[in-house]
Structure 1
Amino acid sequence: MKKILLVLTSVSELGDTGEKTGYNVAEAAHPWKVFKDSGHFVDFASIKGGVPPRDEVDTSDPIQVAFTEDETTKAGLYNTARVDVVDPSQYDAVYLVGGHGTMWDFPDSEGLQKLVASVYNAGGVVGAVCHGPAGLLNVELENGLRLVEGKRVAAFTNDEEVAADKDKIVPFFLADRLEEQGATHVSAGVFEEKVIVDERLVTGQNPASAGGVAKEMEKLLAEVIHQEKAEEQDESEALRAEKDAEKAAAAAAAESDH
Protein backbone atom coordinates (compact mmCIF):
# COMPACT_ATOMS: atom_id res chain seq x y z
CA MET A 1 0.00 0.00 0.00
CA LYS A 2 1.26 3.46 -0.92
CA LYS A 3 0.29 6.92 0.31
CA ILE A 4 -1.02 9.36 -2.29
CA LEU A 5 -1.71 13.03 -1.69
CA LEU A 6 -4.46 14.78 -3.66
CA VAL A 7 -3.90 18.56 -3.82
CA LEU A 8 -6.84 20.93 -4.33
CA THR A 9 -7.27 24.61 -5.12
CA SER A 10 -8.38 27.12 -2.49
CA VAL A 11 -9.78 29.60 -5.04
CA SER A 12 -13.57 29.89 -5.02
CA GLU A 13 -14.12 32.61 -7.64
CA LEU A 14 -13.11 32.96 -11.28
CA GLY A 15 -10.97 36.08 -11.16
CA ASP A 16 -13.21 39.03 -10.33
CA THR A 17 -16.24 37.73 -12.25
CA GLY A 18 -18.17 36.62 -9.17
CA GLU A 19 -18.61 33.24 -10.84
CA LYS A 20 -18.06 30.38 -8.40
CA THR A 21 -15.40 27.75 -8.94
CA GLY A 22 -13.26 25.31 -6.99
CA TYR A 23 -11.75 21.90 -7.55
CA ASN A 24 -13.35 19.68 -10.19
CA VAL A 25 -15.18 16.89 -8.34
CA ALA A 26 -14.89 14.35 -11.16
CA GLU A 27 -11.14 14.92 -11.32
CA ALA A 28 -10.85 14.12 -7.62
CA ALA A 29 -13.45 11.35 -7.42
CA HIS A 30 -12.37 9.09 -10.28
CA PRO A 31 -8.68 8.95 -9.25
CA TRP A 32 -9.76 8.53 -5.60
CA LYS A 33 -11.70 5.41 -6.62
CA VAL A 34 -8.77 4.00 -8.63
CA PHE A 35 -6.35 4.52 -5.74
CA LYS A 36 -8.80 3.30 -3.11
CA ASP A 37 -9.71 0.16 -5.08
CA SER A 38 -5.99 -0.60 -5.36
CA GLY A 39 -5.65 -0.49 -1.58
CA HIS A 40 -3.68 2.74 -1.39
CA PHE A 41 -4.13 5.40 1.27
CA VAL A 42 -5.46 8.73 -0.02
CA ASP A 43 -4.90 12.03 1.79
CA PHE A 44 -5.91 15.60 0.92
CA ALA A 45 -4.18 18.98 1.02
CA SER A 46 -4.98 22.40 -0.40
CA ILE A 47 -3.16 25.66 -0.96
CA LYS A 48 -4.64 27.43 2.09
CA GLY A 49 -5.86 24.42 4.08
CA GLY A 50 -9.29 23.95 5.60
CA VAL A 51 -12.35 23.16 3.46
CA PRO A 52 -11.51 23.58 -0.25
CA PRO A 53 -14.23 25.01 -2.53
CA ARG A 54 -15.60 22.62 -5.11
CA ASP A 55 -17.42 22.78 -8.43
CA GLU A 56 -20.85 21.24 -8.92
CA VAL A 57 -21.29 17.52 -8.25
CA ASP A 58 -22.72 15.52 -11.14
CA THR A 59 -25.29 13.39 -9.28
CA SER A 60 -25.69 11.15 -12.34
CA ASP A 61 -22.10 9.97 -11.81
CA PRO A 62 -22.10 7.29 -9.07
CA ILE A 63 -18.37 7.72 -8.47
CA GLN A 64 -18.77 11.44 -7.69
CA VAL A 65 -21.70 10.63 -5.40
CA ALA A 66 -19.67 7.93 -3.60
CA PHE A 67 -16.76 10.34 -3.21
CA THR A 68 -18.91 13.05 -1.63
CA GLU A 69 -20.68 10.59 0.68
CA ASP A 70 -17.65 8.59 1.86
CA GLU A 71 -17.15 9.33 5.56
CA THR A 72 -13.35 9.09 5.51
CA THR A 73 -13.18 11.40 2.50
CA LYS A 74 -15.59 13.89 4.06
CA ALA A 75 -13.42 13.99 7.18
CA GLY A 76 -10.28 14.50 5.08
CA LEU A 77 -11.86 17.34 3.10
CA TYR A 78 -13.30 19.03 6.18
CA ASN A 79 -9.85 20.16 7.28
CA THR A 80 -7.22 19.72 4.60
CA ALA A 81 -3.59 20.45 5.42
CA ARG A 82 -1.90 23.48 3.87
CA VAL A 83 0.57 22.38 1.21
CA ASP A 84 3.41 24.29 2.85
CA VAL A 85 3.17 22.27 6.07
CA VAL A 86 2.83 18.84 4.43
CA ASP A 87 5.78 16.48 4.93
CA PRO A 88 6.60 15.25 1.38
CA SER A 89 8.50 12.25 2.73
CA GLN A 90 5.18 10.78 3.90
CA TYR A 91 3.92 10.35 0.32
CA ASP A 92 4.82 8.08 -2.56
CA ALA A 93 2.82 10.11 -5.07
CA VAL A 94 1.13 13.48 -5.42
CA TYR A 95 -1.81 14.13 -7.72
CA LEU A 96 -2.88 17.68 -8.64
CA VAL A 97 -6.65 17.90 -9.06
CA GLY A 98 -7.86 20.37 -11.68
CA GLY A 99 -10.62 22.92 -11.70
CA HIS A 100 -10.34 26.50 -12.99
CA GLY A 101 -9.39 27.82 -9.54
CA THR A 102 -5.96 26.20 -9.84
CA MET A 103 -5.02 28.75 -12.51
CA TRP A 104 -4.93 31.45 -9.85
CA ASP A 105 -3.28 29.74 -6.87
CA PHE A 106 -1.25 26.74 -8.11
CA PRO A 107 1.48 28.43 -10.24
CA ASP A 108 2.79 30.81 -7.55
CA SER A 109 2.52 28.51 -4.52
CA GLU A 110 6.07 27.93 -3.29
CA GLY A 111 4.73 25.32 -0.87
CA LEU A 112 3.23 23.35 -3.74
CA GLN A 113 6.38 23.70 -5.85
CA LYS A 114 8.53 22.36 -3.00
CA LEU A 115 6.10 19.51 -2.33
CA VAL A 116 5.98 18.39 -5.96
CA ALA A 117 9.75 18.69 -6.39
CA SER A 118 10.43 16.76 -3.17
CA VAL A 119 8.16 13.86 -4.13
CA TYR A 120 9.67 13.65 -7.63
CA ASN A 121 13.27 14.02 -6.42
CA ALA A 122 12.70 11.15 -3.98
CA GLY A 123 11.63 8.82 -6.80
CA GLY A 124 7.89 9.33 -6.32
CA VAL A 125 5.18 9.71 -8.92
CA VAL A 126 3.60 13.05 -9.85
CA GLY A 127 0.23 13.27 -11.59
CA ALA A 128 -1.95 16.18 -12.72
CA VAL A 129 -5.05 16.59 -14.84
CA CYS A 130 -6.83 19.35 -16.79
CA HIS A 131 -5.88 22.64 -15.05
CA GLY A 132 -3.96 20.72 -12.37
CA PRO A 133 -0.73 20.94 -14.43
CA ALA A 134 -0.73 24.65 -13.48
CA GLY A 135 0.92 23.28 -10.32
CA LEU A 136 3.80 21.90 -12.39
CA LEU A 137 4.78 25.39 -13.50
CA ASN A 138 7.85 26.84 -11.78
CA VAL A 139 8.73 23.49 -10.14
CA GLU A 140 12.51 23.17 -10.12
CA LEU A 141 14.19 19.82 -9.47
CA GLU A 142 17.43 19.20 -7.59
CA ASN A 143 19.26 18.87 -10.93
CA GLY A 144 18.42 22.51 -11.65
CA LEU A 145 15.94 21.75 -14.43
CA ARG A 146 12.26 22.57 -14.35
CA LEU A 147 10.09 19.47 -13.88
CA VAL A 148 8.33 19.96 -17.22
CA GLU A 149 11.48 20.84 -19.15
CA GLY A 150 11.98 18.41 -22.02
CA LYS A 151 8.90 16.39 -21.06
CA ARG A 152 5.72 15.61 -22.97
CA VAL A 153 2.64 16.75 -21.07
CA ALA A 154 -1.12 16.95 -21.49
CA ALA A 155 -3.28 19.73 -20.05
CA PHE A 156 -6.45 21.71 -20.78
CA THR A 157 -6.02 23.08 -24.30
CA ASN A 158 -6.52 26.58 -25.67
CA ASP A 159 -9.41 25.28 -27.80
CA GLU A 160 -11.06 23.76 -24.73
CA GLU A 161 -10.70 27.07 -22.90
CA VAL A 162 -12.53 28.76 -25.77
CA ALA A 163 -15.17 26.01 -25.83
CA ALA A 164 -15.71 26.46 -22.09
CA ASP A 165 -16.05 30.22 -22.66
CA LYS A 166 -13.27 30.92 -20.18
CA ASP A 167 -10.59 32.12 -22.60
CA LYS A 168 -11.20 35.80 -21.70
CA ILE A 169 -11.28 35.04 -17.95
CA VAL A 170 -8.27 32.82 -17.22
CA PRO A 171 -5.02 34.66 -16.39
CA PHE A 172 -3.14 32.73 -19.09
CA PHE A 173 -3.44 29.75 -21.43
CA LEU A 174 -2.04 26.74 -19.57
CA ALA A 175 -0.85 24.85 -22.65
CA ASP A 176 1.12 27.90 -23.83
CA ARG A 177 2.70 28.47 -20.43
CA LEU A 178 3.81 24.83 -20.16
CA GLU A 179 5.52 25.10 -23.54
CA GLU A 180 7.18 28.35 -22.48
CA GLN A 181 8.75 26.40 -19.62
CA GLY A 182 10.18 23.77 -21.95
CA ALA A 183 7.42 21.18 -22.14
CA THR A 184 5.98 19.65 -25.30
CA HIS A 185 2.21 19.93 -25.02
CA VAL A 186 0.41 16.94 -26.54
CA SER A 187 -3.34 17.07 -27.11
CA ALA A 188 -6.35 15.18 -28.42
CA GLY A 189 -9.54 16.78 -29.74
CA VAL A 190 -11.68 19.09 -27.63
CA PHE A 191 -12.81 17.25 -24.47
CA GLU A 192 -11.41 13.93 -25.70
CA GLU A 193 -9.39 11.78 -23.31
CA LYS A 194 -5.60 12.15 -23.46
CA VAL A 195 -3.09 10.81 -20.95
CA ILE A 196 0.67 11.23 -21.26
CA VAL A 197 3.31 9.36 -19.25
CA ASP A 198 6.86 10.73 -19.30
CA GLU A 199 9.18 9.07 -16.78
CA ARG A 200 7.37 9.47 -13.41
CA LEU A 201 5.19 12.37 -14.56
CA VAL A 202 1.62 11.53 -15.61
CA THR A 203 -0.65 14.22 -17.03
CA GLY A 204 -4.15 14.33 -18.51
CA GLN A 205 -5.95 16.81 -20.75
CA ASN A 206 -9.40 17.21 -19.18
CA PRO A 207 -11.97 15.66 -16.79
CA ALA A 208 -12.39 12.66 -19.12
CA SER A 209 -8.69 11.90 -18.59
CA ALA A 210 -8.72 11.85 -14.77
CA GLY A 211 -9.32 8.13 -14.31
CA GLY A 212 -6.71 7.32 -16.95
CA VAL A 213 -4.10 9.46 -15.19
CA ALA A 214 -4.74 7.59 -11.94
CA LYS A 215 -4.47 4.20 -13.68
CA GLU A 216 -1.10 5.12 -15.20
CA MET A 217 0.10 6.40 -11.81
CA GLU A 218 -1.07 3.09 -10.33
CA LYS A 219 1.06 1.18 -12.86
CA LEU A 220 4.13 3.18 -11.89
CA LEU A 221 3.44 2.61 -8.19
CA ALA A 222 2.97 -1.13 -8.85
CA GLU A 223 6.43 -1.20 -10.46
CA VAL A 224 7.87 0.42 -7.32
CA ILE A 225 6.11 -2.13 -5.10
CA HIS A 226 7.37 -5.00 -7.27
CA GLN A 227 10.91 -3.64 -7.12
CA GLU A 228 10.72 -3.22 -3.34
CA LYS A 229 9.49 -6.81 -2.92
CA ALA A 230 12.29 -8.09 -5.14
CA GLU A 231 14.85 -6.17 -3.07
CA GLU A 232 13.34 -7.54 0.15
CA GLN A 233 13.54 -11.07 -1.25
CA ASP A 234 17.18 -10.55 -2.28
CA GLU A 235 18.01 -9.29 1.20
CA SER A 236 16.19 -12.24 2.77
CA GLU A 237 18.03 -14.73 0.58
CA ALA A 238 21.36 -13.05 1.30
CA LEU A 239 20.66 -13.21 5.05
CA ARG A 240 19.64 -16.87 4.80
CA ALA A 241 22.82 -17.68 2.86
CA GLU A 242 24.86 -15.86 5.50
CA LYS A 243 23.20 -17.84 8.30
CA ASP A 244 23.68 -21.13 6.41
CA ALA A 245 27.37 -20.30 5.95
CA GLU A 246 27.71 -19.54 9.67
CA LYS A 247 26.06 -22.87 10.55
CA ALA A 248 28.30 -24.73 8.11
CA ALA A 249 31.38 -23.04 9.56
CA ALA A 250 30.30 -23.88 13.11
CA ALA A 251 29.64 -27.49 12.14
CA ALA A 252 33.04 -27.74 10.44
CA ALA A 253 34.73 -26.26 13.52
CA ALA A 254 32.94 -28.74 15.80
CA GLU A 255 33.94 -31.63 13.50
CA SER A 256 37.60 -30.55 13.56
CA ASP A 257 37.56 -30.46 17.36
CA HIS A 258 36.80 -34.15 17.33
Structure 2
Amino acid sequence: MAKKVLFALTSHDQLGDTGRKTGFYVPEVAHPAEVFRTAGYEIAYVSVRGGSAPQDGITGDDTVVSAFLDDQATADALASTPTPKELSAEDFDVIYFAGGHGTMWDFPDSAELTELAAGIYERGGVVAAVCHGPAGLVNLKLSDGSYLVDGKQVASFTDDEESAVGLTDVVPFLLQSKLEERGAKFTKAPNFTEHAVADTRLVTGQNPASAAKVAQLTVAALAG
Protein backbone atom coordinates (compact mmCIF):
# COMPACT_ATOMS: atom_id res chain seq x y z
CA MET A 1 0.00 0.00 0.00
CA ALA A 2 1.28 3.47 -0.89
CA LYS A 3 2.67 5.59 1.91
CA LYS A 4 0.82 8.82 2.60
CA VAL A 5 2.16 12.27 3.44
CA LEU A 6 0.05 15.02 4.98
CA PHE A 7 1.14 18.60 4.31
CA ALA A 8 0.15 20.90 7.18
CA LEU A 9 -0.61 24.46 6.05
CA THR A 10 -1.17 27.73 7.87
CA SER A 11 -4.55 29.44 7.75
CA HIS A 12 -3.12 32.81 8.80
CA ASP A 13 -2.83 35.44 6.07
CA GLN A 14 -1.76 38.65 7.86
CA LEU A 15 1.92 39.51 8.35
CA GLY A 16 1.54 41.03 11.78
CA ASP A 17 0.43 44.67 11.54
CA THR A 18 2.48 45.43 8.43
CA GLY A 19 -0.58 45.36 6.18
CA ARG A 20 1.14 42.71 4.08
CA LYS A 21 -0.36 39.33 3.25
CA THR A 22 1.22 35.98 4.01
CA GLY A 23 0.22 32.32 4.01
CA PHE A 24 1.89 29.00 3.32
CA TYR A 25 5.00 29.27 1.16
CA VAL A 26 3.97 27.42 -1.99
CA PRO A 27 7.49 26.37 -3.15
CA GLU A 28 7.93 24.60 0.21
CA VAL A 29 5.03 22.34 -0.72
CA ALA A 30 5.48 22.06 -4.48
CA HIS A 31 9.11 20.91 -4.43
CA PRO A 32 8.79 18.29 -1.68
CA ALA A 33 5.48 17.11 -3.16
CA GLU A 34 7.34 16.30 -6.38
CA VAL A 35 9.85 14.24 -4.36
CA PHE A 36 7.10 12.35 -2.54
CA ARG A 37 5.10 11.78 -5.71
CA THR A 38 8.16 10.38 -7.48
CA ALA A 39 8.66 8.03 -4.51
CA GLY A 40 5.10 6.75 -4.91
CA TYR A 41 3.52 8.55 -1.96
CA GLU A 42 -0.08 9.70 -1.81
CA ILE A 43 -0.40 13.39 -0.89
CA ALA A 44 -3.00 15.07 1.29
CA TYR A 45 -3.39 18.48 2.90
CA VAL A 46 -4.66 19.89 6.18
CA SER A 47 -4.85 23.46 7.46
CA VAL A 48 -5.40 24.92 10.90
CA ARG A 49 -8.90 26.23 10.16
CA GLY A 50 -9.72 24.15 7.08
CA GLY A 51 -11.04 25.45 3.78
CA SER A 52 -8.85 27.38 1.35
CA ALA A 53 -5.32 27.90 2.67
CA PRO A 54 -3.75 31.31 1.91
CA GLN A 55 -0.75 31.16 -0.43
CA ASP A 56 2.54 33.06 -0.50
CA GLY A 57 5.89 32.87 -2.29
CA ILE A 58 4.62 32.46 -5.86
CA THR A 59 7.04 34.21 -8.22
CA GLY A 60 6.01 32.85 -11.61
CA ASP A 61 9.51 31.74 -12.62
CA ASP A 62 9.44 28.37 -10.84
CA THR A 63 8.29 25.64 -13.22
CA VAL A 64 7.76 23.13 -10.38
CA VAL A 65 5.46 25.56 -8.59
CA SER A 66 3.60 26.36 -11.83
CA ALA A 67 3.01 22.68 -12.56
CA PHE A 68 1.90 22.12 -8.96
CA LEU A 69 -0.65 24.94 -9.07
CA ASP A 70 -1.84 24.03 -12.56
CA ASP A 71 -2.74 20.51 -11.46
CA GLN A 72 -6.52 20.44 -11.04
CA ALA A 73 -6.58 17.79 -8.31
CA THR A 74 -4.06 19.80 -6.30
CA ALA A 75 -5.99 23.04 -6.80
CA ASP A 76 -9.19 21.36 -5.65
CA ALA A 77 -7.48 19.90 -2.59
CA LEU A 78 -5.94 23.24 -1.59
CA ALA A 79 -9.31 24.99 -1.99
CA SER A 80 -11.04 22.73 0.54
CA THR A 81 -8.57 21.42 3.10
CA PRO A 82 -9.89 19.56 6.16
CA THR A 83 -9.19 20.62 9.73
CA PRO A 84 -6.89 18.47 11.90
CA LYS A 85 -9.80 17.13 13.97
CA GLU A 86 -11.34 15.66 10.80
CA LEU A 87 -8.29 13.44 10.26
CA SER A 88 -6.79 10.39 11.97
CA ALA A 89 -3.10 9.82 12.66
CA GLU A 90 -3.52 6.18 11.64
CA ASP A 91 -4.01 7.23 8.02
CA PHE A 92 -0.62 8.91 7.53
CA ASP A 93 3.05 7.96 7.48
CA VAL A 94 4.36 11.54 7.39
CA ILE A 95 3.21 14.97 8.45
CA TYR A 96 5.16 17.76 6.76
CA PHE A 97 4.78 21.22 8.30
CA ALA A 98 5.19 23.64 5.39
CA GLY A 99 6.56 27.09 6.08
CA GLY A 100 5.45 30.58 5.32
CA HIS A 101 5.38 33.35 7.92
CA GLY A 102 1.70 32.70 8.70
CA THR A 103 2.68 29.55 10.57
CA MET A 104 4.26 31.67 13.31
CA TRP A 105 0.81 32.89 14.36
CA ASP A 106 -1.36 29.76 14.17
CA PHE A 107 0.79 26.59 14.23
CA PRO A 108 2.05 26.76 17.84
CA ASP A 109 -1.39 27.04 19.46
CA SER A 110 -3.25 24.55 17.27
CA ALA A 111 -3.58 21.75 19.81
CA GLU A 112 -5.44 19.60 17.29
CA LEU A 113 -2.62 19.88 14.77
CA THR A 114 0.11 19.08 17.30
CA GLU A 115 -1.90 16.13 18.63
CA LEU A 116 -2.30 14.80 15.09
CA ALA A 117 1.45 15.14 14.51
CA ALA A 118 2.29 13.45 17.82
CA GLY A 119 -0.02 10.59 16.90
CA ILE A 120 1.69 10.10 13.53
CA TYR A 121 5.11 10.15 15.20
CA GLU A 122 4.19 7.74 17.98
CA ARG A 123 2.86 5.17 15.54
CA GLY A 124 6.25 5.12 13.82
CA GLY A 125 5.78 7.88 11.28
CA VAL A 126 7.96 10.86 10.43
CA VAL A 127 7.39 14.46 11.48
CA ALA A 128 8.96 16.80 8.92
CA ALA A 129 9.08 20.59 8.79
CA VAL A 130 10.86 23.32 6.84
CA CYS A 131 11.66 27.02 7.25
CA HIS A 132 8.90 28.47 9.50
CA GLY A 133 7.06 25.13 9.49
CA PRO A 134 8.89 24.10 12.70
CA ALA A 135 6.61 26.62 14.44
CA GLY A 136 4.39 23.54 14.56
CA LEU A 137 7.00 21.83 16.74
CA VAL A 138 7.45 24.41 19.49
CA ASN A 139 4.51 23.10 21.54
CA LEU A 140 4.47 19.54 20.21
CA LYS A 141 4.67 17.16 23.15
CA LEU A 142 4.68 13.37 23.11
CA SER A 143 2.48 11.25 25.39
CA ASP A 144 5.23 11.15 28.03
CA GLY A 145 5.06 14.94 28.31
CA SER A 146 8.40 15.63 26.62
CA TYR A 147 8.86 18.03 23.72
CA LEU A 148 9.47 16.19 20.45
CA VAL A 149 12.45 18.45 19.67
CA ASP A 150 14.12 18.01 23.08
CA GLY A 151 17.60 16.57 22.60
CA LYS A 152 17.21 16.19 18.82
CA GLN A 153 19.06 17.94 16.02
CA VAL A 154 16.71 20.51 14.51
CA ALA A 155 16.91 23.11 11.75
CA SER A 156 14.54 25.98 10.95
CA PHE A 157 14.56 29.52 9.62
CA THR A 158 17.28 31.06 11.75
CA ASP A 159 17.23 34.20 13.87
CA ASP A 160 19.88 35.62 11.50
CA GLU A 161 17.66 34.93 8.49
CA GLU A 162 14.69 36.58 10.21
CA SER A 163 16.86 39.64 10.78
CA ALA A 164 18.04 39.58 7.17
CA VAL A 165 14.44 39.74 5.87
CA GLY A 166 13.64 42.55 8.32
CA LEU A 167 10.91 40.75 10.26
CA THR A 168 12.51 40.21 13.67
CA ASP A 169 10.14 42.74 15.26
CA VAL A 170 7.09 41.56 13.29
CA VAL A 171 6.94 37.84 14.10
CA PRO A 172 5.47 36.92 17.50
CA PHE A 173 8.67 35.10 18.52
CA LEU A 174 12.01 34.03 17.04
CA LEU A 175 11.76 30.44 15.88
CA GLN A 176 15.37 29.34 16.39
CA SER A 177 15.42 30.78 19.91
CA LYS A 178 12.10 29.14 20.81
CA LEU A 179 13.22 25.72 19.56
CA GLU A 180 16.42 26.06 21.57
CA GLU A 181 14.31 26.88 24.64
CA ARG A 182 12.50 23.58 24.07
CA GLY A 183 15.79 21.68 24.17
CA ALA A 184 16.50 21.36 20.45
CA LYS A 185 20.12 20.92 19.34
CA PHE A 186 19.89 23.64 16.73
CA THR A 187 21.95 23.25 13.53
CA LYS A 188 22.32 25.74 10.71
CA ALA A 189 24.15 26.68 7.54
CA PRO A 190 24.88 30.15 6.09
CA ASN A 191 21.77 32.26 5.46
CA PHE A 192 19.42 31.00 2.74
CA THR A 193 21.55 27.98 1.76
CA GLU A 194 20.29 24.41 1.75
CA HIS A 195 20.44 22.64 5.10
CA ALA A 196 18.33 19.76 6.40
CA VAL A 197 18.82 17.26 9.19
CA ALA A 198 17.20 13.97 10.22
CA ASP A 199 17.19 12.75 13.81
CA THR A 200 15.03 9.88 15.10
CA ARG A 201 12.18 10.33 12.57
CA LEU A 202 12.22 14.11 12.96
CA VAL A 203 13.33 15.77 9.71
CA THR A 204 13.75 19.53 9.54
CA GLY A 205 15.11 22.10 7.08
CA GLN A 206 16.31 25.66 7.37
CA ASN A 207 14.66 27.60 4.54
CA PRO A 208 12.91 27.31 1.14
CA ALA A 209 16.12 25.99 -0.45
CA SER A 210 15.93 23.02 1.94
CA ALA A 211 12.36 21.87 1.26
CA ALA A 212 13.10 19.13 -1.28
CA LYS A 213 16.01 17.85 0.84
CA VAL A 214 13.65 17.45 3.80
CA ALA A 215 11.40 15.29 1.62
CA GLN A 216 14.37 13.20 0.42
CA LEU A 217 15.53 12.60 4.00
CA THR A 218 11.98 11.72 5.02
CA VAL A 219 11.63 9.12 2.26
CA ALA A 220 15.01 7.68 3.30
CA ALA A 221 13.99 7.58 6.98
CA LEU A 222 10.85 5.58 6.20
CA ALA A 223 12.65 3.32 3.73
CA GLY A 224 15.26 2.53 6.37
Please, what TM-score do these two structures have when normalized by structure 2?
A: 0.97
Paired with 1:141 and 1:53, the residues of 2 have a C-alpha distance of 29
Match of 1:38 in 2: 39
| CA apart distance, 1:94 | 0.4
SS of residue matched to 1:81: coil
2:137 & 2:131 partners in 1: Cα distance? 12
Looking at structure 2, the residues matched to 166 and 70 of structure 1 have their Cα atoms a distance apart, in angstroms, of 33
Structure possessing the higher radius of gyration over alpha carbons? 1
Which residue identity lines up with residue 142 of structure 1 in the other structure? S
CA offset at residue 83 of structure 1?
A: 1.5
C-alpha deviation, 1:143, in angstroms: 2.6
Q: Which residue of 2 is the match for residue 165 of structure 1?
A: 166
The answer as to 2:187 corresponding to 1:208 is no
User: How many Å separate the matches in 2 of 1:79 and 1:188?
Assistant: 36
| Residue of structure 1 equivalent to 2:143 | 142
Please give the residue correspondences for 1:56-95 in structure 2 after superposition, counting only pairs within 5 Å: 56-95=57-96
Considering only aligned residues, what root-mean-square deviation do their CA atoms show, in Å? 0.8
Note if 1:28 corresponds to 2:19: no
Task: Give the match for residue 112 of structure 1.
Answer: 113
Q: In structure 1, list runs of 5 or more residues that go unmatched.
A: 224-258
| Whole-angstrom distance in 1 between the partners of 2:8 and 2:209 | 18
Mapped pair 1:222 → 2:223 = yes
**Structure 2 CA distance, aligned partners of 1:56 and 1:130?**
13
What CA distance in whole angstroms lies between the structure 1 residues aligned with 2:32 and 2:183?
Answer: 27
1:47 positional shift: 0.2
Whole-Å separation in 2 of the counterparts to 1:30 and 1:182: 29
Aligned to 2:152: 151
Match of 1:2?
Answer: 3
CA separation in 1, counterparts of 2:40 and 2:198? 22
Give a deviation string over 1:91-126, Cα, whole Å, max 9, x none: 011000000000000001101110110000100011
Q: Tell me the amino acid that sits aligned with residue 123 of structure 1.
A: G
Deviations 1:123-179 (A, max 9, x none): 001100000000011111123211001111000001100111111101110000001
Match of 2:126 in 1: 125
**Equivalents in 2 of 1:192, 1:222: separation in Å?**
26
| Cα separation, 2, equivalents of 1:58 and 1:146 | 36
Task: Return the offset for 1:56.
Answer: 3.5
Q: In structure 2, what is the equivalent of residue 49 of structure 1?
A: 50
Larger relative helix fraction: 1
Structure-1-length-normalised TM-score? 0.85
How far, CA to CA, are the matches of 1:48 and 1:69 in structure 2? Answer: 24
Q: Distance in 2 between matches of 1:221 and 1:150?
A: 21
CA distance in 2, matches of 1:161, 1:86: 33
Runs (4 or more) in structure 1 with deviation over 2 Å come to none
CA distance in structure 1 between the partners assigned to 2:197 and 2:223 by the alignment: 18
Q: Return the alpha-carbon distance in structure 2 between the equivalents of residues 144 and 13 of structure 1.
A: 32
* Contact 2:27 2:57 (8 Å CA) reproduced: no
Partner AA of 1:209 in structure 2: S
- Give unmatched runs, 5+ long, in structure 2: none
Query: How many residue pairs were aligned?
Result: 223
How far does residue 221 in structure 1 lie from its aligned partner after superposition? 2.1
